Chain A
Amino acid sequence: MSEQTHPETLLRVQGVSKRFGGLQALSNVSFDLPAGQILGIIGPNGAGKTTLFNCINGVYPPEEGRIIFRGTNITGWQSYDVARLGLARTHQIVRPLNELTVLQNVMAGACFGHERRNLAQAEKIADGVLEAVGLAKWRNALAASLNVAQKKRLELARALAARPYLLLLDEVLAGLNPTEIAEMVQVVRSLRDQGITILIIEHVMHALMNVSDRVIVLDYGVQIAEGTPEEVAHNPKVIEAYLGDPKVAERLLLGD
Chain B
Amino acid sequence: MRAWRYPAFWLTLGLVAAVGIVVFATRSATLREEMFLLLMFVTLASSLNILLGYTGYVNFGHIVFFGLGGYVGFYLMSQQGWPLWWATLAGGLASGLLAWVLGAATLRLRGAYFALATIGVNEAVRAFVNNFRPFGGPTGMSLNFAVYRQYGGPANALWWTFGAMFGLTLLVIVISYLVKFSRFGLGLMSVREDEDAAMVMGVRTPSMKTWAFVLSALFPGMVGVLFFFKNGNVEPGDAFRLQMSIEIIVMVMLGGSGTVLGPAIGSAAYERLRGYLLTSPIFKNLHLAFAGFLLLIIVLFVPAGLVGWLRGRVPRLRRVLE
- Which residues of chain A have a CB within 8 Å of any CB of chain B? 57, 59, 78-80, 83-84, 88-89, 91, 95-100, 104, 107-109, 111-114, 116, 118-119, 122, 158, 162
Contact = CB atoms under 8 A, between A and B. Distances in A.
B39 to A, nearest CB: 29
A72 to B, nearest CB: 16
A158 B186 CA distance: 14
B193 A83 contact: no
A98 B189 CA distance: 10
A89 B200 CA distance: 7
Identify the interface centre among B194, B203, B205, B258: most chain A CB within 10 Å of its CB. B203
A158 B189 contact: no
A70 to B, nearest CB: 15
Given A97-B193, A97-B197, A100-B189, A108 B182 contact: no
List the 10 closest pairs (A to B, CB-CB), nearest first. Answer: A83-B202, A97-B193, A112-B202, A95-B197, A79-B199, A112-B203, A113-B202, A108-B190, A80-B202, A79-B200
Contacts of A107: 186
A113 B201 contact: yes
B46 to A, nearest CB: 19
Given A95-B194, A97-B193, A108 B200 contact: no
A99 B258 CA distance: 10
Contacts of B198: 97, 108, 112
A84 B205 CA distance: 13
A116 B203 CA distance: 10
A114 B202 CA distance: 8
Contacts of B258: 99
Given A78-B199, A80-B199, A80-B205, A112 B194 contact: no
A111 B186 contact: yes
A107 B204 CA distance: 16
A158 B201 contact: yes
A99 B203 CA distance: 17
B2 interface: yes
A38 B308 CA distance: 44
B202 A104 contact: no
Contacts of B183: 111, 118-119, 122
Contacts of B197: 91, 95, 97
B200 A100 contact: no
B252 to A, nearest CB: 16
A97 B190 contact: yes
Interface in B159-190: 181-183, 186-187, 189-190
Contacts of A79: 199-200
Contacts of B200: 57, 59, 79-80, 83, 89, 91
A119 B186 contact: yes
A100 B193 contact: yes
B196 interface: yes
Contacts of A59: 196, 200
Given A97-B194, A112-B190, A116-B202, 19 more contacts: A59-B200, A79-B199, A79-B200, A80-B203, A84-B202, A89-B200, A91-B200, A96-B194, A97-B190, A97-B197, A99-B192, A100-B186, A100-B190, A104-B186, A104-B189, A108-B187, A118-B183, A122-B183, A162-B201
Nearest to B191: A97
16 contacts: A57-B200, A59-B196, A78-B199, A79-B199, A80-B199, A80-B200, A83-B202, A97-B190, A98-B193, A99-B192, A100-B189, A109-B201, A112-B198, A116-B202, A119-B181, A119-B186
A84 B182 CA distance: 19
Contacts of A114: 202
Contacts of B194: 95-97
Contacts of B186: 100, 104, 107-108, 111, 119
Contact of A119 (B182, B196, B201, B203): B182
Interface string B200-231: 11111100000000000000000000000000
Nearest to A119: B183
B187 A112 contact: yes
Interface in B94-111: none
Contacts of A80: 199-205
A198 B199 CA distance: 20
A98 B186 CA distance: 13
Contacts of A122: 183
Nearest to B203: A112
Nearest to A114: B202
Nearest to A155: B197
Contacts of B203: 80, 108, 112
Contacts of A100: 186, 189-190, 193
